[in-house]
């Protein structure tokens, strides 16, 4: 498989799935009345305008920033679609409380979440060996304790949020996204019946990235020794970007060689962790993922036995358009 071959990716959103291609992304959201609503929007062309953004060990962090931005936009879209439906059901003339017009507020709300994530998954584990009074252990042993603490923090967090019914629904849509892409990459006709035969796990999943990140960060931390706490925390923060860049390259390599023994070896730990973040999807969830992929990939046709989707702009308002490429999809800052 050459580096020029493209693989589709995506993520689960609220009651739907987002799929990303080379030049566009599509989000499909299933409303409570069963209607599937799509939007198709262009992806950032930053990497096309700046060739250095495609360099190895650079492209990883660029891709992660773009994925974060796209993920937030698609989540906002799904929220807006469901908010619009709620306003319709109430029969109110007031505008629904969408988030499309207050993008900077959304980004401000993300800052505390990012701070919590860095504190919980990066800084707190670096303090655990001191808390355990592991003075007799060398730098390697202390770094191993830190890595184990980081993995346990990730697993504990995922296990805790998975107890929430709404989050379990998102995990089911996560499984639908994976099963649909697995079906496409296996060369099978992308139909719900076929997709249901495929695994809800996938080697290129962002969950796998988390586990790779922990391992790579451990390897980068060991040569730095075990300095005083404040210097250690500063070094942990400094190693986030290099660890993310290397982890991305490993994940990319394994995803492009998924049938080789090395690719399967690299993917195995991440697939174990994915068992926490994915669930087996039902028929409607698989169909929702197919709606998104069919609107994005020319090689995928929407099954003839499903109802045609409706289309909406980023504010969630359904339009009269009949094809996602015809939507005047504004590029909003979120």
Residue 235 pLDDT greater than 50, yes or no = yes
DSSP annotation of 51 reads G
Write out the two tokens for 211.
Answer: 């586990």
Q: Which residue has the higher pLDDT, 70 or 259?
A: 70
Give residue limits of the domains in the chain: 9-326
Of 220, 216, 214, 223, give the one whose Cα is nearest residue 138.
223
The strand pair at 24-30 and 16-20 is best described as: antiparallel
Query: Are the C-beta atoms of 156 and 167 separated by less than 8 Å?
Result: no
Query: Are the C-beta atoms of 74 and 56 separated by less than 8 Å?
Result: no
Q: Dihedral of the CA atoms 274, 186, 64, 270 (nearest 10)?
A: 30
Residue 82 pLDDT greater than 80, yes or no = yes
Residue 137 pLDDT greater than 60, yes or no = yes
* 19-32 per-residue burial string, b: 16 or more CB within 10 A, e: under 16: bbbeebbbbbbbbe
Query: Are the C-beta atoms of 314 and 41 separated by less than 8 Å?
Result: yes
Residue 174 pLDDT greater than 90, yes or no = yes
Q: Report how far apart, in Å, the C-alpha atoms of 262 and of each of 6, 178, 183, 186, 275 are.
A: 20, 21, 22, 19, 21
pLDDT at residue 23 in the model: 86
Q: For the chain, how far is it from start to end, CA to CA, in angstroms?
A: 35
99: phi then psi, degrees, rounded to nearest 5: -115, 10
Above pLDDT 90, what percent of the chain?
A: 44
Q: Per-residue pLDDT tens for 176-234? A: 999 999 999 999 999 999 999 999 999 888 888 888 898 999 999 999 989 898 999 89
d(CA 186, CA 198): 9
Q: Per-residue pLDDT tens for 280-310? A: 999 999 999 999 999 999 889 888 888 889 9
- Percentage helix, strand, coil, to 5, in the chain? 60, 10, 35
d(CA 15, CA 74): 11
Q: Per-residue pLDDT tens for 86-96? A: 888 777 555 55
Cα-trace Rg, the chain: 21
Query: Are the C-beta atoms of 44 and 66 separated by less than 8 Å?
Result: yes
pTM, to two decimals:
0.86
- Using CB atoms within 10 Å of the CB of residue 83, give its burial: 0 to 12 exposed, 13 to 18 middle, 19+ buried: middle
Q: Per-residue pLDDT tens for 60-77? A: 899 888 888 888 889 989
Q: pLDDT band at residue 4, thresholds of 50, 70 and 90?
A: very low
């Amino acid at each position: 498989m050459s580096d020029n071959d493209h693989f589709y990716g995506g993520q689960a959103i609220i009651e739907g799935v987002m799929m990303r291609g080379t030049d566009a992304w599509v989000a499909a959201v299933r409303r409570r009345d069963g209607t599937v609503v799509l939007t198709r929007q262009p992806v950032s062309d930053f990497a096309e305008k700046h060739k250095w953004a495609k360099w190895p060990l650079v492209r990883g962090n660029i891709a992660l920033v773009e994925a974060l931005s796209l993920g937030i936009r698609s989540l906002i879209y799904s929220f807006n679609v469901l908010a619009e439906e709620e306003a319709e059901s109430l029969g109110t003339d007031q505008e629904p409380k969408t988030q499309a017009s207050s993008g900077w507020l959304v980004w401000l709300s993300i800052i505390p979440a990012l701070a919590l994530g860095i504190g919980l998954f990066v800084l707190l584990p670096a303090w655990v060996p001191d808390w355990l009074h592991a003075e007799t252990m060398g730098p390697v042993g202390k770094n191993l304790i830190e890595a184990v603490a980081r993995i346990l923090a990730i697993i504990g967090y995922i296990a805790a949020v998975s107890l929430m019914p709404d989050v379990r629904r998102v995990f089911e849509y996560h499984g639908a996204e994976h099963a649909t892409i697995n079906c496409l990459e296996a060369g099978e006709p992308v139909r719900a019946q076929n997709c249901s035969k495929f695994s809800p796990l996938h080697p290129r999943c962002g969950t796998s990235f988390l586990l790779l990140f922990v391992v790579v960060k451990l390897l980068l931390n060991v040569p730095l020794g075990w300095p005083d706490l404040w210097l250690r925390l500063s070094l942990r923060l400094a190693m986030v970007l290099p660890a993310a860049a290397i982890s991305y390259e490993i994940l990319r390599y394994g995803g492009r060689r998924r049938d080789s023994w090395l690719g399967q070896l690299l993917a195995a730990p991440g697939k174990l962790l994915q068992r926490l973040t994915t669930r087996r999807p039902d028929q409607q969830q698989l169909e929702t993922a197919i709606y998104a992929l069919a609107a994005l990939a020319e090689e995928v046709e929407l099954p003839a036995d499903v109802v045609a989707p409706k289309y909406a702009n980023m504010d969630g308002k359904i339009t009269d358009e009949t094809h996602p490429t015809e939507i005047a999809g504004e590029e909003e800052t979120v």
